[in-house]
Amino acid sequence: MHHRKDLMRALILVLVCVLLLPEAVTAGPRSIPDAAPARSAAGIDAPWAVALPLVLRSCRSFSYNESLLWNITKIHAADAWACPQGGAGVVIAILDTGVDSSHPELAGNLVSGIHYFDAYYEDANWEDDNGHGSHVAGIAAGIANNGGIVGVAPRASIMPVKVLDNNGSGYMSDAGRGVIWAIQHGADVINMSLGGFGDYEPLHTAIQQYAYNNNVPVIVSAGNCGVANDKCPSQNAISYPAAYTQTLAVAATDSDDYRAYFSTVASYVDVAAPGVSIYSSTPRVYPYYADYLYYSGTSQAAPHVAGLAALIRALQPGWTTQQVYNYIASTADDITAYGVGWDPQTGYGRINAADAISGIDAASVESLAVPAALEAENAVIQQDPTEFRPGAVLFKLREDADITTITGDAGIQAAGLQVTTAIAELGVQELHVPTGAETTWLAYLRSLPGVEYAELDGVIHIQ
């Protein structure tokens, strides 16, 4: 049965890539069931069909000399490389701990990056001093034909955006600035294998206004709170930015297509990808000093999907962000161990790159529904972070207010507090407060009539 499916997949790929004509297209990928649940408790609309452009193209062979590892084989990535030529011309921004610029799996695919840290500072030193970012980058776009590992999109470019330190931690404000910088400097896809346990409006706004609205998919790890552990405030704790509807949240699966025990079970999970014992590139940094290591996590699952998004972008650069999300979900292999259709363990299923690319020129796609009211969902999931940057409260003023609303306030003047700019592109300011008094001043700012929102600068970690 598997041989027959592989043969049919190969025949479809040849027909689509070499001889595709409009009249030859009779069906798109499989439909998503009408009863598909929502990403939130608010519910989801029925699926809708979106017309996509028909493109005629020819395909060339794609060579590689690596022995494919289980994760690349599981998602049928090699069967998807010919037509998009491994994602050539597409830039994947890796928002993480940096990337090793000298690693043979990564160096040839790198473009210029940035380093944001401590909420204010930036420099060009985006070298990876942790290992996590290089591992993620190798999964997404490790180079082919060098005898090591190979990524899902081996000819895509890697843009390092270092927003996490050598311990794998950072702040939401740095992640928000990183998203904006990546979009301004040509990123086509963003991978965020990180998360925190609190909503942060500036990051949400950066993802929505700069990425989603500019047709740049943001692929995010769903979280590693599937079991209670000391890194999670509770089992299946909501992880941000995965919970935002403008991202594609990725759960982790093992080699038998079961949800990894650590993978968060949540209403926001969209799809799944391999995330257990994934072998990929690492820098020679403390404490391992190895060129390749096995890592597990939803952090490892997300870049598989980012690589697939790059393959899709190489063939369909005009698709909207939502069309890319919908298409990835609609071509995933449903994992029926958790029921037919969507489920909170693996979303719409484990991604299948071959099915995605072989059907990419279909005239229409049955697609995920967009929640009717984004504001309603955010109200359901919104929560303040449990871990945050000391001495800071960030805020944005309403359009009809000016900074004297804050600097001229009697309470703020009496306390001698200072205000500085935090994220200029979003109009976000920072009120510098005494360490330990953050929540007090957060409540105070939220009480002022001229403040649109006030937030704590939540801590984010690798996942």
Q: Dump pLDDT digits (tens) for 393-445.
A: 999 999 999 999 899 999 999 999 999 999 999 999 999 999 999 999 999 99
Distance CA 435, CA 7 (A): 64
Paired sense of beta strands 189-192 and 91-96, if any: parallel
- What does the pLDDT read at residue 67? 73
- Asked if 58 contacts 20 with a C-beta cutoff of 8 angstroms, the reply is no
Q: How confident is the model at residue 93 (pLDDT cuts 50, 70, 90)?
A: very high
- Asked if 282 contacts 288 with a C-beta cutoff of 8 angstroms, the reply is yes
- What does the pLDDT read at residue 275? 98
- What does the pLDDT read at residue 63? 65
Q: Which amino acid is at 219?
A: I
Residue bearing the bigger pLDDT, 284 or 331 = 331
Taking Cα atoms as reference points, which of 401, 452, 463, 399 lies closest to residue 193? 463
Q: Percent of the chain having pLDDT more than 90? A: 71
- Asked if 365 contacts 29 with a C-beta cutoff of 8 angstroms, the reply is yes
**Mean pLDDT for the chain overall:** 84
pLDDT at 48 > cutoff 50: no
pLDDT at 9 > cutoff 60: no
pLDDT at 129 > cutoff 60: yes
- What does the pLDDT read at residue 381? 55
Residue bearing the bigger pLDDT, 204 or 42 = 204
Q: How confident is the model at residue 197 (pLDDT cuts 50, 70, 90)?
A: very high
Element containing residue 302 per DSSP (H, E): helix 298-315
Residues facing 454 on adjacent strands = 395
- Asked if 233 contacts 197 with a C-beta cutoff of 8 angstroms, the reply is yes
- Asked if 223 contacts 262 with a C-beta cutoff of 8 angstroms, the reply is no
Burial status of residue 5 (CB atoms within 10 A of its CB: 0-12, 13-18, 19 or more): exposed
Mean predicted confidence (pLDDT) in 209-224: 97
Element containing residue 453 per DSSP (H, E): strand 451-455
Element containing residue 125 per DSSP (H, E): none
Q: 317-352, pLDDT tens digit by residue?
A: 999 999 999 999 999 999 988 888 899 999 999 999
DSSP class of residue 36 equals P
Phi, then psi, of 210 in degrees rounded to 5:
-90, -35
Distance CA 105, CA 379 (A): 43
**Tokens standing for residue 281:** 């590139």
- What does the pLDDT read at residue 60? 66
Distance CA 293, CA 304 (A): 17
Superfamily of domain 384-462 in CATH is: Peptidase S8 propeptide/proteinase inhibitor I9 (3.30.70.80)
User: Which CATH fold would you assign to the domain 7-379?
Assistant: Rossmann fold (3.40.50)
Phi-psi domain of 113 (left: phi exceeds 0; alpha: psi -120 through 50; beta: other):
beta
Element containing residue 344 per DSSP (H, E): none
Q: 54-74, pLDDT tens digit by residue?
A: 444 546 667 676 678 999 999
Q: Which residue ranges does the chain devote to CATH 3.40.50.200?
A: 7-379
- What does the pLDDT read at residue 59? 66
- What does the pLDDT read at residue 369? 46
- What does the pLDDT read at residue 56? 43
Q: How confident is the model at residue 383 (pLDDT cuts 50, 70, 90)?
A: confident
- Asked if 128 contacts 281 with a C-beta cutoff of 8 angstroms, the reply is no
DSSP class of residue 23 equals G
Phi, then psi, of 383 in degrees rounded to 5:
-155, 150
pLDDT at 379 > cutoff 80: no
Taking Cα atoms as reference points, which of 92, 100, 22 lies closest to residue 302? 92
- What does the pLDDT read at residue 285? 81
For residue 303, cis peptide bond before it (omega within 30 degrees of 0): no
Burial status of residue 176 (CB atoms within 10 A of its CB: 0-12, 13-18, 19 or more): buried
- Asked if 226 contacts 262 with a C-beta cutoff of 8 angstroms, the reply is yes
Taking Cα atoms as reference points, which of 171, 112, 173, 107 lies closest to residue 134? 107
Which stretch of 92-106, 248-262, 281-295, 372-386 has the lowest confidence by average pLDDT? 372-386
Q: How confident is the model at residue 52 (pLDDT cuts 50, 70, 90)?
A: very low
Taking Cα atoms as reference points, which of 195, 196, 175, 95 lies closest to residue 423? 175
What residues contact residue 310 under an 8 Å CB cut-off, 6+ apart? 84, 87, 90, 92, 140, 141, 152, 153, 156, 188, 189
Residues classed as catalytic = 96, 132, 299
Burial status of residue 416 (CB atoms within 10 A of its CB: 0-12, 13-18, 19 or more): exposed
pLDDT at 31 > cutoff 50: no
Which stretch of 49-58, 278-287, 337-346 has the lowest confidence by average pLDDT? 49-58
**Tokens standing for residue 353:** 């790159």
Q: Percent of the chain having pLDDT more than 70? A: 81
Most confident stretch, 16-25, 222-231, 361-370: 222-231
pLDDT at 449 > cutoff 70: yes
Q: Which residue ranges does the chain devote to CATH 3.30.70.80?
A: 384-462
pLDDT at 255 > cutoff 50: yes
- What does the pLDDT read at residue 382? 62
Distance CA 62, CA 68 (A): 14
- What does the pLDDT read at residue 301? 98
Element containing residue 387 per DSSP (H, E): none
